[in-house]
Amino acid sequence: MKRRFVGLLVTSLLIFLLLMGSGVSRADEEFVTFLPIISNQGEIHGEWIAYIGVPDWNVWLISADGARLVKVTDDGTPLGNTPHIFYWGMKWSPNGQMLAFQRRISGVVYEESIQVYDLSTKIVNKVVTGLSIKGFDWTPDSRGIVYAPMKQPISGLYVVELQTRQIFELVPPVRGISLWFPQWSPDGRYLAFEEVPFIEGHGSMVVYDTVNNVYPLPYGRLGNISWAPNGLALAYDNANYPPGIGNSINLKMPAYMGQSLSPLSSELGDSTPQFSPDGRLIAFVRKTIREPGETYGPIWLVDPDPYDGVPARQFTYSNFTHPQWSPDGKQLVAQAYCGSLLCEDDLIILSLDPPAEFLLKTGAKWPEWQP
């Protein structure tokens, strides 16, 4: 299997290089890279799971054993309040020591910001403020945040350095199309994002080579994305966004950022792929229930190596959304569907071997497991 997979990567690399030749090269311009810092000294992995509380819409931490709770923010307000203040979009820094999230105020005034909670100081700092922010991600060295401010008529991607608060444009909109939803590869080489031409929904995927400063041609439309741990491939669900139509179609895995392999799953509505920490499995949701802002269904697992020929297998029979792996790859945490819009979802821990599940927290959404 390894020999076949290596052969696939070499072939895909040649295809990728040919494709890159037809893209836009920016190698003659100065570019700042953010390669990861390799250090495990003193780090504690997987101790905390972040989530958004319901109905207060604040950021919380719960220990993975369920024994400890930490309230990170305290100004969230229930739905129906004016103004309504809520948090979402949480992401742990690659070193696991900080948690970033978005904050929105709506009602009399409207404002969005990116804020960062430091585990060591237990302080929340606002690092970016704007009228609308269309996605963000950590730099691989955990020293900055790349984000997409929604500007008229078009906007690129910017980086804020946490220590200095310096902001600079990282990737300009070279084709005259706004760039949204950045996602950095773990090795720091590639930056995936979307070119969104109509200032709504999803667009076409671009995988920017930040080391060689090459901006390739876009690939297909996408929605949710997950990088392989080695940074050599990514899994994503296709996106389709005419008004009134959902954005989850199927699950594919591009080889070396260029060619898409045969779909790992082709059921209408497969979504939210998540690579396991060792890269041997992808967890995803097979949609059965659609609620405003959420897609629920059983969790399935699939081998990302297409030459293994192992079909996807159903892992749960209850309906979940937002599955997230534990750092050791032995468990998942997911948001369980409570049955209607009138109740509050729960967080469930799902063990793979032996299969088991237990309730972690009631009234919680969008879990993120500390790396």
In contact, 254 and 238? CB cutoff 8 Å: no
The residue count of the chain comes to: 371
pLDDT by residue (tens digit) across 175-200?
A: 989 999 999 999 888 999 999 887 66
The token pair that represents 141 in the structure block: 């060295």
Cα separation, 368 vs 325, in Å, equals 9
SS3 125: strand
Cα separation, 228 vs 215, in Å, equals 21
Report yes or no on whether pTM surpasses 0.85.
Answer: no
- E strands in 162-293: 167-171, 178-184, 190-196, 204-209, 214-215, 225-227, 234-237, 251-252, 254-255, 259-260, 270-275, 282-286, 289-291
Q: Which domain covers residue 7, as residue numbers?
A: 2-38+46-369
| CATH value at residue 80 | 2.120.10.30
> Would you state the pLDDT for residue 113?
95
> Would you state the pLDDT for residue 79?
82
Cα separation, 228 vs 234, in Å, equals 6
Residue with more model confidence, 50 or 243: 50
SS3 10: helix
Cα separation, 295 vs 129, in Å, equals 29
Residue with more model confidence, 83 or 331: 331
Backbone phi, then psi, for 41, in 5-degree steps?
-65, 125
The token pair that represents 336 in the structure block: 């369980």
Domain count, the chain: 1
Query: What is the residue whose two structure tokens read 């079909």?
Result: 311
In contact, 230 and 223? CB cutoff 8 Å: no
Quote the mean pLDDT of the chain. 80
Residue with more model confidence, 265 or 182: 182
DSSP single-letter state for residue 146: E
Reference 312, options 366, 253, 224; nearest CA is: 253
In contact, 48 and 62? CB cutoff 8 Å: yes
Instruction: Say whether pLDDT at 316 is over 90.
Output: yes
- Res. 30 pLDDT band, cuts 50 70 90: very low
